[in-house]
Amino acid sequence: DEADLQRHFDAVIAAEHRIEPRDWMPDGYRRTLIRQIAQHAHSEIIGMQPEGDWLLAAPSLRRKAILLAKVQDEAGHGMYLYSAAETLGADRADLTDKLIERKQKYSSIFNYPTLTYADVGVIGWLVDGAAICNQVPLCRSSYGPYARAMIRICKEESFHQRQGYELLMTMMRGTPEQRAMVQDAVDRWWWPSLMMFGPPDADSPNSAQSMAWGIKRHSNDELRQRYVDMSVPQAEVLGVTLPDPDLEYDPATGHHRFGAIDWDEFQRVLAGDGPANAERIRRRRAARDDNAWVVEAATAYASKHGS
């Protein structure tokens, strides 16, 4: 009966084993996984826009090929994650509608514009760097399909971060104008990248339950701190200054203290009032509506040929 099923589920979670699609699971576990996996997938797909904007203006064939590979990877990450959500009974078309109707979220970071080509490098270095900090622990998430999707995604994400950092190193060895472009991009992306980890633990309604269920392995603040500690030495090697006068290493804790994050800005962006929210949703809606005929044709073909 239900009590035995709950006990078995609790024992699997306590033993840090995996829950698989056909296992019994509490409705809340299924709901919060669909919520997080769908929004993770939406983030990957929306994230293709800011970078994709520079595909035609990349400065060399090599840079264009690298950027094209990265944007295609993000599409693939979205597909893995929508497939993981489907194992929980979610419908991919329904999730896309919820994204477009703003009933589901995507990462706040993609509501900022990519103003210069240096942004492509800074997104690789900082945004994919933050994503790696957040996604590596998710490889140990208690839900099997999500954890396995993460293992593949993390391998590709490390290529994304390295190519971004190498791009910036090249520009920092360039002209004063190129160095200034890199510093300007760092100034614009640093604080929004800290917001990718979510609100402070004290204001995180999902964390306690997600950690009890082995979905979230570290708190928002823990991973944010890990990201800051990782980024400071990388910024020094690069020769850029992180835009936080309060940033300083604390030998007592071995961590870097940093300044206050503007959570009002975070809430405004989540409420849809960021610089690029409207454009991101408009383009995603157009992609769905303009390509509806492809879905209809493929569905008609499949139903006629029974595949």
Q: By the criterion CB under 6 A, which residues form the site for ligand 3HC?
A: 35-36, 39-40, 43-44, 47, 74, 77, 105, 107-108, 127-128, 131, 134, 157, 195-199, 204-207, 210, 216, 220, 270
CB closer to ligand 3HC, 108 vs 183: 108
Which 3-state string (H, E, C) describes the chain? CHHHHHHHHHHHHHCCCCECCCCCCCHHHHHHHHHHHHHHHHHHHHCHHHHHCCCCCCCCHHHHHHHHHHHHHHHHHHHHHHHHHHCCCCCHHHHHHHHHCCCCCCCHHHHCCCCCCHHHHHHHHHHHHHHHHHHHHHCCCCEHHHHHHHHHHHHHHHHHHHHHHHHHHHHHCCCHHHHHHHHHHHHHHHHHHHHCCCCCHHHCCCHHHHHHCCCCCCCHHHHHHHHHHHHHHHHHHHCCCCCCCCCEEECCCCEEECCCCCHHHHHHHHCCCCCCHHHHHHHHHHHHHHCHHHHHHHHHHHHHCCC
CB closer to ligand 3HC, 284 vs 302: 284
Q: How far is the CB of 111 from ligand 3HC (least distance, A)?
A: 9
Q: How far is the CB of 240 from ligand 3HC (least distance, A)?
A: 20
Q: How far is the CB of 211 from ligand 3HC (least distance, A)?
A: 9
CB closer to ligand 3HC, 187 vs 222: 222
CB closer to ligand 3HC, 210 vs 231: 210
Q: How far is the CB of 208 from ligand 3HC (least distance, A)?
A: 9
CB closer to ligand 3HC, 176 vs 205: 205
